[in-house]
Amino acid sequence: MKKKLKVIAVIPARLASTRLPRKVLLPLAGRPMLAWVYQAARACPLLDQVIVATDSDEVMALGQAEGWDVRITSAELASGSDRVHAVSLETDADVYVNVQGDEPLLQAGHIEALLRPFTRHSDHVDVTTLSTRCPAEDIQNPNAVKVVTTTDGKALYFSRATIPFDRDAAGTAHRKHLGFYAYTRAALARFAALPPSLLERTEKLEQLRMLEHGMTVYVEPTEFETVGVDTEEDFRRVERLLLDRYNM
């Protein structure tokens, strides 16, 4: 009988976002955006623990007031994955799930999908992530990352460009990448130790560092679309969706 994996979700939450400053604390449908993310992560029964990793005293104060597990991490860390790694150095688990603090439409189904490859493929998985069918309006949108995979679900490439290129206009079903990740402990440590790669710097996509260094990334399909909040327009769109979802 296989040992049950210990799975921890880490929500990186920093205030110094460039396009929408302080976004994790902005009031969204009556609550700070981060509160929606934390609530959604806690709703997943497969998680043993949910931790917020921040460099902000304000986020720390919010978390303490709400009764969350909040950890202060260095302001010098370059990415959300680096914050997840910082938590992993002090909190032991088999798998770490990176739940971005700007994904208030997260559902338990996203996390369940992320964890499936670890049981299906066992020891061959380093990292997992998600994709969904790419809406027509996002196929040419560089802010919507596209992904192509092998037939068994391993990532071949992620890009802001439209991949694959539909040369004959055959109606290829493009796949949109959703920015949730789950890492084994070893894969997370390896990723954090690697320098930013050429393709990563070119496309500004940290997952390309994994591919350039030969890490196995499984991309699990999901029907649950999300909208990451990067702009004021995203914020208003997500607020409308939350109000509809909860009949508020």
Query: How confident is the prediction for the chain on average, in pLDDT?
Result: 93
Top-confidence residue, 17 or 167 = 167
Instruction: Report pLDDT digits (tens) over 164-173.
Output: 999 998 988 9
Residue 28 · residue 48 · CB < 8 Å? no
Residue 59 · residue 13 · CB < 8 Å? yes
Res. 1 pLDDT band, cuts 50 70 90? very low
Parallel, antiparallel, or unpaired: how do β-strands 127-133 and 217-221 relate?
parallel
Place of tokens 């449908």: 29
Residue 212, pLDDT score: 97
Tokens of 213: 């260094």
Domains of the chain, each with CATH number or no CATH: 1-105+230-248 (3.90.550.10), 107-181+195-225 (3.90.550.10)
Instruction: Report pLDDT digits (tens) over 84-116.
Output: 999 999 999 999 999 999 999 999 999 999 999
Residue 101 · residue 37 · CB < 8 Å? yes
Rounded to 5°, the CA angle 101-26-236 comes to 90
Instruction: Report pLDDT digits (tens) over 26-82.
Output: 999 999 999 999 999 999 999 999 999 999 999 999 999 999 999 999 999 888 899
10 Å Cβ neighbour count for 75?
A: 11
What is the Cβ-side half-sphere exposure of residue 66, based on CA atoms within 13 angstroms?
20
Residue 86 · residue 75 · CB < 8 Å? no
